[in-house]
Amino acid sequence: MTDLNQFYIDGRWVAPVDGAGTLDVVDPATEQVAGTVALGGPADVDAAVAAARRAFETWSQTSVDERLAVIGAVITEYQKRADDLAAAVTVEMGAPAGLAAAAHVPMGLAHLATAAESLKTFSFAEDRGSSRIVKEPIGVCGFITPWNWPLNQVFCKVAPALATGCTMVLKPSEVAPFSAAIVAEVFDAAGVPAGVFNLVNGDGPGVGTALAAHPDIDMISFTGSTRAGIEVARNAAPSVKRVAQELGGKSPNILLDDASLAANVAAGIGTMMMNSGQSCNAPSRMLVPAGRLDEVTETIKATASAITVGDPNSGVQLGPVVSEPQFDKIQGLIERAVADGATPVVGGPGRPDGLDTGYYVRPTVFTGVTNDMEIARTEVFGPVLVVIAYDDVDEAIAIGNDTEYGLAGYVSGEDLDEVRRIGSRLRAGSITLNSAALDPTAPFGGYKRSGNGREWSDYAFDEFLEVKSMLGFASA
């Protein structure tokens, strides 16, 4: 049992002020309580923000070399705790142990390393005539992060904030708080100055709202659903703080009609199902040539049927989804898709055979889907893929763009020029061509209702900086 009954504020572990009680943290693989987390409230947020405000006076004035030294110390301590972090992710949100060690933990490290490299060459000032244009840290930042890729989402905010001289208050998901507690221990062991990093656990109404609305928070960065992002923006509006959001997605995966189609179908299924489909940029709408739908269906049966699901510590490809509410939501969407006329080529409602305990979902792929169906328009956030047929490339692009979201898009085919051309026409912030690997040096963020602002790499720095013009600087 892991009981998180304190918050990390001003360089110390302290008891909650508000005493809002605790929440059970459930292991989604066993449905058993794995620990508890204390729920904070506005008074705890006040204490954390005050600590961050005090620390900002000195941290904002540190040199690039001083900040690089601190980030380096964090990297060292993070690497020491890699096994603990991976184990925490597996327990709190059900990621298979191999995925937690090979993807979840390395993503946090990648953002730290990328921020350090970017900081070495980033220009915080330029001269234009007699004026100097400077970029200064925005101030105290509030971070609200989700449960699905907990370390990735924490460090794609924390790393650039550290690098640019900001201080911060983090509210991780109350559903998956264990890894964030280890992150706080990492910061403490690394000797990060008191108040630069603060952690307050809690739910959205108790802590998230207080962070977003707090008058001494200069910037709020939120990752989560579009619905919740709208509420964060509303709460932030009266104080006119900067708001950066990385929200939902329903990303198209356009597969071209060529000799690589079968291989690209298999690759698309693998990318979609990873992390039990709980990725905001998952390629959840696969667009395939109508004339080859039978061939596609056979590849789906062979590929998706072979995916292993079960105990995340047993070497399987997929573990459970994160919680009972998430399981129920996914089951409802699958059932309604069947009622709407979609055909489950593999999977369907219910748990996989032999898995009666745990929030396990059958990997499900639907054909017979049109883009106006609920299953094609709603972010499922589970191992559920829809296949939509197209007659020509222009129709595929139109279908791909026919969504309220614009976080990601995927295009695969043998003609690279054609793949590039199609990618350039998709209205989304991150386009993956021919199954290219993730690149932490490239910016990540969305168009439309998928959010605003950019994370990852030096592009994230600008989210944490104010621009000041100093006229007459050269003649002073």
Question: Residues with catalytic annotation?
Answer: 246, 280
Q: What are phi and psi of 326, to 5 degrees?
A: -65, -40
Helices (DSSP H) in 81-149: which residue ranges?
82-93, 97-99, 105-121
For β-strands 252-255 and 285-289, DSSP reports them as parallel
CA distance 208 to 203: 6
Q: Helix or strand or coil: residue 20?
A: coil
State whether residue 16 is helix, strand or coil: coil
- Which stretch of DSSP H or E encloses residue 461? none
| Residue showing tokens 């085919």 | 413
Give which of 230, 50, 243 is closest to 140, Cα–Cα.
50
β pairing state of 32-38 and 22-27: antiparallel
Output the DSSP codes for 418-443. HHHHHHHHS-SSEEEETTPPP-TTS-
* Integer Cα distance of 50 and 469 in angstroms: 28
Residue 112 CA to residue 249 CA, distance in Å, equals: 25
* ∠ CA 247-168-242, rounded to 5°: 50
d(CA 355, CA 296) in angstroms, rounded, equals 29
In which element (H, E) is residue 103 found? none
SS3 208: helix
Quick one: residue 275, left, alpha or beta (phi over 0 = left, psi -120 to 50 = alpha)? left
Number of residues assigned to the chain: 476
Give the up-direction half-sphere exposure of residue 70: CA atoms within 13 A in the CB hemisphere.
Answer: 23
User: Cα–Cα distance between 261 and 267 in angstroms, integer?
Assistant: 10
Please report the sign of the dihedral spanned by the C-alpha atoms of residue 50, residue 52, residue 55, residue 58. Answer: negative
Alpha-carbon torsion (450, 443, 90, 178), positive or negative: negative
Structure token pair of residue 184: 């706080």
